[in-house]
Chain A
Amino acid sequence: MKRALPILAVLAVLLAAIAIVNPFFLEPAGFLSFVRRAAPLVILAAGQYLVIVSGEFDLSVGSLVTVEVVVAARLIDGDEAATWPVLALLIVLGLFVGLVNGAVTTLLRVPSFITTLGMMLVLSGAVFLWTGGAPRGALSQAFRMFGRQTGWAVLTLVVVAVAAVLLMRANFGRTLIAIGDNERAAALSGVRVTRVRLIAFTLSGVSAAVAGILLGGFAGVSAQVGQGLEFQAITAVVLGGVVLGGGRGTVIAAMAGALTLEALFTLLNLYGVSGALKFTVQGVVLIAAVAAGAIRLPFLDAPKVKGDAHAVS
Chain B
Amino acid sequence: MTQNVLADGRARFGALVNPTSVVFLALAGVILVGWALVAVDGGQFLTMETVVGVQQRSAALGIVAVGQTLAILAGSLDLSVAYLISLASLVAAVTMAGQDSNIVLAVGAVMGVSALVGLVNGLMISKLRVHAFIATLGISLIIKGILGDLYDGPAGRVPESFQHLGYDRLGPVPVSALLWAAVALVAWFLLRRTKYGYRVYAVGGDVEVARLSGIRTDRVIIITHVLCSLCAGIAGLLLASRLGAGAPTVGTDGGYDLESIAAVVLGGAALAGGRGGVAGTVGGVLLLAVLDSVFNQLEVNSFFKDVVRGVVIVVAVAVYARRTGLIGRRRT
Contacts and interface: CB of A to CB of B under 8 A. Distances in A.
A50 interface: no
A209 B325 CA distance: 35
Given A110-B318, A117-B261, A279-B144, A286 B138 contact: yes
B143 to A, nearest CB: 8
Interface stretch (A86-94, A168-176, A249-257, A270-278): A270-278
A168 B116 CA distance: 42
Nearest to A107: B318
A231 B137 contact: yes
Given A133-B303, A235-B137, A245-B131, A274 B310 contact: no
Interface stretch (A74-82, A122-130, A153-161, A305-313): A122-130
Given A125-B310, A281-B145, A286-B137, A113 B271 contact: yes
Contacts of B322: 108-109
A283 B139 CA distance: 6
A189 interface: no
Contacts of B170: none
Contacts of A110: 314, 317-318, 321
B332 A291 contact: no
Nearest to A122: B310
Contacts, number: 146
Contacts of A291: 124, 128-130
Nearest to B313: A118
Contacts of B130: 287, 290-291, 294
Nearest to B305: A125
Given A283-B138, A283-B142, A287-B130, A125 B303 contact: yes
Interface residues of A, number: 49
A287 B148 contact: no
Contact of B134 (A129, A275, A284, A286): A286
A84 to B, nearest CB: 29
Contacts of B124: 287, 291
Contact of A109 (B147, B306, B318): B318
Given A113-B271, A114-B262, A244 B144 contact: no
A118 B263 CA distance: 12
Interface in A196-246: 231, 234-235, 238, 243-245
A276 B140 contact: no
Contacts of B325: 109
Given A110-B317, A283-B140, A276 B145 contact: yes
Given A187-B332, A291-B130, A294-B129, A284 B318 contact: no
A260 interface: no
A280 B144 CA distance: 7
A118 B138 contact: no
Interface string B123-158: 010001111011101111110111111000000000
Interface in B311-326: 311, 313-314, 317-318, 321-322, 325
B242 interface: no
A104 interface: yes
A281 B325 CA distance: 44
A186 B320 CA distance: 26
Contact of A279 (B142, B258, B318): B142
B321 A109 contact: yes
Contact of A184 (B128, B146, B332): B332
Contact of B306 (A108, A122, A133, A245): A122
Contact of A129 (B271, B307, B318): B307
Interface of B: 124, 128-131, 133-135, 137-142, 144-149, 258, 261-262, 265, 271-272, 301, 303-311, 313-314, 317-318, 321-322, 325, 332
Interface of A: 57, 59, 104, 108-111, 113-115, 117-122, 124-126, 128-129, 133, 183-184, 187, 231, 234-235, 238, 243-245, 274-284, 286-287, 290-291, 294-295
Given A125-B305, A283-B137, 19 more contacts: A108-B318, A108-B321, A113-B261, A113-B271, A114-B262, A117-B262, A121-B309, A126-B307, A129-B304, A187-B332, A238-B131, A245-B131, A274-B148, A276-B148, A279-B148, A283-B145, A286-B138, A287-B134, A295-B128
Closest 3 CB pairs of A and B: A276-B148, A280-B145, A125-B306
